[in-house]
Amino acid sequence: MSGQNSKTEGALGTGPGVGKWWEKEVIYQIYPKSFKDSNGDGIGDIRGITGKLDYLEDLGVTMLWICPVYRSPMDDNGYDVSDYRALAPEFGEMEDLDELIREAGKRGIKIMMDLVINHSSDEHEWFRQALKDPGSKYHDYYIFRQGKDRPNNWRSIFGGSVWEKVPGRDEYYYHTFGKKQPDLNWENRELRRELYDMVNWWLDRGIAGFRIDAISFIKKDLTWADREPDGADGLAKCTKASRVMPGIGEFLGELKRETFDRHQCVTVAEAAGVPYDLMQDFIGDNGYFDMIFDFRYADLDIASGSEWFKRLPWTVKELKEKIFSNQMTMQRYGMAANFIENHDQPRAASKYLKEAQYNTDAVKMLGAMYFFLRGVPFIYQGQELGMVDFERSSIGEFNDLSSIDQYHRSLEGGLSEEDALRIVNLRSRDNARTPFPWNSGRYGGFTEGTPWLGMTEEYPKINAEAQRKDADSIYGFYKEMIAFRQNGPYSETLTRGGIAPVSSGDDVIAYRRYTEEEEIYCFFNFASEKCAEALPPGEALPIWGNMEAPGIQDGKIILRPYQAALIKVR
């Protein structure tokens, strides 16, 4: 990575790329398996999404990110693709997706799809042919190594070796994630051409862009040398030798030139592990992608994204530091992709608010804190209702591969079954994948059948129907917040304006959004007690918040417990 795409901060720190169409989007992530079941089989589907477009339009979102709906054996819930140009039957037909694109477009809502091109399913025809005939071209579409023993000691993200033996042969294939997810060999030019053709085929169908899964893993250390073991299993994290490796820029630059540059699309990379000093190559006007998900503040409670059984204590002050580190870096080079929940994270109310997870004011404050950061806000399904984590009583109740692996690794590390289960409950990806509660009826109105995954216990109280009737609900707050950002009198400042941290107490996150014409100070009190924070000189006018306007006296703002307040200073 040469750094040839280096950018400088724009006027007033507003960054490059001002005016891109996607900068004013509000993106709503849908996990289709759990959103809405239209045919009673217990699995959400595309028609279920189409049937709820009025709900999404009412909320005010402008784009949907749909998690994978490609044909798949669903070993990792669709992130194991067996046919990139066909849909999984449980989700529907291609005509259903075309209808969703059309109907969403009528409501001013665009569709973004997930793109999974670090690996495929072991049931993909390419891999079947690779196993059937080692002399075929498809064998080199994947990463194979000959020998009686595993080539090295690297550990996969989901636990165990990255190498799986080929039945009947002294040969192993490589998988960063599950053993049914063999990695594609990006060193093969013909494979890359097949992938680019597929990407263009999808963009030509009318989608607005892609969230690109695990893209920082496509380049490996080709020496395949052992690494220093870092676990009780004697293995070493594969991230040390397969994530953001030197030379990855050649692949990413080619991907962009051959696909994204040919369309007016938006791209958001799931590229964990990108150092901040390389961020200039990844985002902005000349970067490989438009935006990137940064997991530093999302993973502040765990040792690493692949070792979340190792819990870490954290404070609001530490959360604030990580958020501002992210914001100031992203501002320098481009725009941030801001989120507090996704399909791989626990519910934000439970993780960030802890014992205050059921406090409506606190949930609203947390939502506003991230929503008005500089960048494009992403909302995960159910976040707008204040959904919380579940508590499962046995490991058998979990579906997520990673959760099951982390449970067993916890036991290997010396934890009791009780402690291992407690940790998995806290961090399981299944927390965000429980079916969406549409009403207080049987299974929350998600399905007329039996849900594929157990519900949370709170759906009789936390559901969309009840909250849409209540203007003071979390849903009502998100609807108002979206409208204020998108169409309010301060929209330009809150979307494309600059950002700078504001000095505040340890339990308060505060920042300034600004243009050359105006300044807005944003305060978020994470404490259960009131506090006072200094304001800059000038007339202070409260313009928005989650409760009655705060008191302002002697040059200070008086914040109630869990208060969010936006103040215009002039």
Residues with catalytic function: 213, 270
Instruction: Select from 160, 204, 154 the least CA-distant residue to 178.
Output: 160
> Which two structure tokens, joined as six digits, stand for 447?
């399905």
Q: Residue 140 and residue 130: Cα distance in Å, rounded?
A: 8
CA dist 563 → 220, 343, 484, 509 (Å):
47, 28, 17, 11
Instruction: Select from 66, 24, 26 the least CA-distant residue to 48.
Output: 66
Q: Residue 279 and residue 267: Cα distance in Å, rounded?
A: 15
Amino acid of residue 38: S
Query: Are the beta carbons of 540 and 550 closer than 8 angstroms?
Result: no
CA 121 to chain centre: 21
Residue reference for tokens 């990575």: 1
Q: Residue 82 and residue 76: Cα distance in Å, rounded?
A: 12
Q: Residue 336 and residue 381: Cα distance in Å, rounded?
A: 20
Q: Residue 169 and residue 372: Cα distance in Å, rounded?
A: 56
Burial of 477 (0-12, 13-18, 19+ CB in 10 A): buried
β-sheet with 144-146: strand ranges across: 144-146, 171-174, 163-165
